[in-house]
């Protein structure tokens, strides 16, 4: 019975550990959610409990206010649009570049890879000043492309590195078999290589989307109006009626709304990322 006892002990300890980590990670999120259901006056007067005090609950009113807020609605559209376009462009370009890097021998391959790495290491803040000046001159300031371009240049290196690692894992014979079966190089790439590299493509896509969605520095410094301002920047401008008394519960609701797309995205793609698609390609 000694083994049964130690098994029970290890299960209890595992459970405890999991609970600890979950609390640590999720407490702030849960608190924001709790805050978003309290009324503004309850927050101002002090409402320390997790659940709203009597009469201090706001129901979904904060959410309704947030979504009906013109400024915020535009920011959501900006954020979704800019992040999606940046992700699609970045992943498409990175897929092609990574394929070339994994499969072809060409001059300057090392140079491309090192440059990509150097760019990825560049501090974002150092580029804000020059970009601000440049964008104002060119006319990209406060536009979608003005944000999409810097997002792409910062996420491409990571996407290329991730994807070329995935492509290298795919046996050459896959493509050769496809070519013998009658596929053009492009068909072999699209019908065999890309599906096999799908976990890599999704990983790269998620990383890119995260970066674009969560960015604050570019968002606040390269925009000036609702034309292109994304959610993180918009939240900071969310002052409400009284500039000296910021609407905390409204902001919390806005933060929750901003987090939801990311959570959905991760849950949706998680299965695809984990699936080991190359299993069974060759003898194993």
Nearest distance, CB of residue 197 and another protein, angstroms? 10
Report which of 254, 222, 217 is spatially closest to residue 238, judged by C-alpha positions. Answer: 254
What Rg do the C-alpha atoms of the chain give, in angstroms?
A: 24
Report which of 273, 146, 145, 150 is spatially closest to residue 202, judged by C-alpha positions. Answer: 273
Which residue from 91, 131, 148, 192 is in contact with another protein, where contact means CB under 8 A? 192
Would you state the structure tokens that stand for residue 92, as one six-digit string?
Answer: 């498409």
Task: Please identify, using beta-carbon distances, which residue of 2 and 279 lies nearer to another protein.
Answer: 279
Stretch that binds another protein, among 70-78, 188-196, 215-223, 248-256 (CB under 8 A): 188-196
- Please report how many Cα atoms fall inside a 13 Å half-sphere around the Cα of residue 45, on the Cβ side: 11
Stretch that binds another protein, among 73-81, 121-129, 136-144, 276-284 (CB under 8 A): 276-284
Task: Please identify, using beta-carbon distances, which residue of 14 and 184 lies nearer to another protein.
Answer: 184
Nearest distance, CB of residue 89 and another protein, angstroms? 25
Nearest distance, CB of residue 264 and another protein, angstroms? 25
Which residue from 198, 207, 262, 273 is in contact with another protein, where contact means CB under 8 A? 198
What phi and psi values does residue 38 have, to the nearest 5 degrees?
-95, 150
Nearest distance, CB of residue 188 and another protein, angstroms? 9
d(CA 256, CA 66): 10
Residue 38 β-bridge partners: 57
Nearest distance, CB of residue 202 and another protein, angstroms? 14
Residue pair 212/155 in contact (Cβ under 8 Å)? The answer is yes
Would you state the structure tokens that stand for residue 108, as one six-digit string?
Answer: 């300057």
- Please report how many Cα atoms fall inside a 13 Å half-sphere around the Cα of residue 257, on the Cβ side: 29
DSSP state, residue 57: B
Using CB under 8 A as the binding rule, whether residue 278 contacts another protein is answered as: yes
29 Cβ contact list (under 8 Å, min separation 6): 259
Using CB under 8 A as the binding rule, whether residue 106 contacts another protein is answered as: no
Nearest distance, CB of residue 195 and another protein, angstroms? 4
**Interface positions, 122-181, toward another protein (CB under 8 A):** 171, 173-174, 176-181
Which residue from 28, 46, 130, 182 is in contact with another protein, where contact means CB under 8 A? 182
Which residue from 51, 71, 195, 245 is in contact with another protein, where contact means CB under 8 A? 195
d(CA 174, CA 177): 5
The residues of the shown chain that bind another protein, judged by CB under 8 A, are: 171, 173-174, 176-184, 187, 192, 195-196, 198, 277-283
């Amino acid at each position: 019975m000694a083994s049964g006892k130690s098994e029970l002990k290890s299960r209890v300890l595992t459970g405890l550990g999991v609970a600890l980590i979950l609390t640590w990670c999720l407490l702030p999120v849960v608190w924001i959610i709790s805050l978003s259901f309290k009324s503004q006056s309850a927050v101002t007067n002090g409402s320390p409990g997790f659940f709203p005090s009597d009469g201090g609950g706001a129901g979904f009113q904060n959410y309704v206010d947030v979504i009906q807020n013109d400024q915020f609605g535009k920011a959501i559209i900006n954020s979704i649009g800019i992040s999606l376009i940046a992700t699609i462009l970045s992943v498409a370009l990175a897929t092609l570049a990574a394929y070339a890097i994994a499969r072809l021998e060409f001059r300057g391959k090392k140079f491309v890879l090192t440059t990509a790495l150097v760019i990825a290491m560049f501090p974002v803040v150092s580029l804000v000043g020059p970009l601000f000046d440049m964008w104002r001159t060119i006319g990209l300031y406060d536009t979608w492309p003005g944000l999409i371009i810097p997002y792409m240049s910062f996420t491409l290196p990571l996407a290329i590195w991730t994807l070329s690692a995935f492509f290298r894992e795919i046996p050459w014979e896959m493509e050769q078999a496809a070519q013998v079966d009658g596929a053009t190089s492009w068909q072999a790439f699209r019908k065999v290589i890309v599906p096999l590299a799908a976990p890599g493509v999704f990983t790269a896509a998620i990383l890119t989307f995260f970066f674009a969605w969560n960015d604050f520095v570019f968002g606040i410094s390269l925009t000036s109006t609702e034309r292109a301002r994304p959610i993180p920047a918009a939240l900071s401008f969310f002052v409400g009626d009284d500039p000296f008394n910021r609407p905390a519960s409204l902001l919390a609701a806005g933060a929750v709304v901003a987090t939801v797309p990311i959570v959905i995205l991760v849950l949706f793609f998680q299965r695809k990322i984990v699936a080991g698609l190359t299993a069974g390609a060759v003898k194993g």
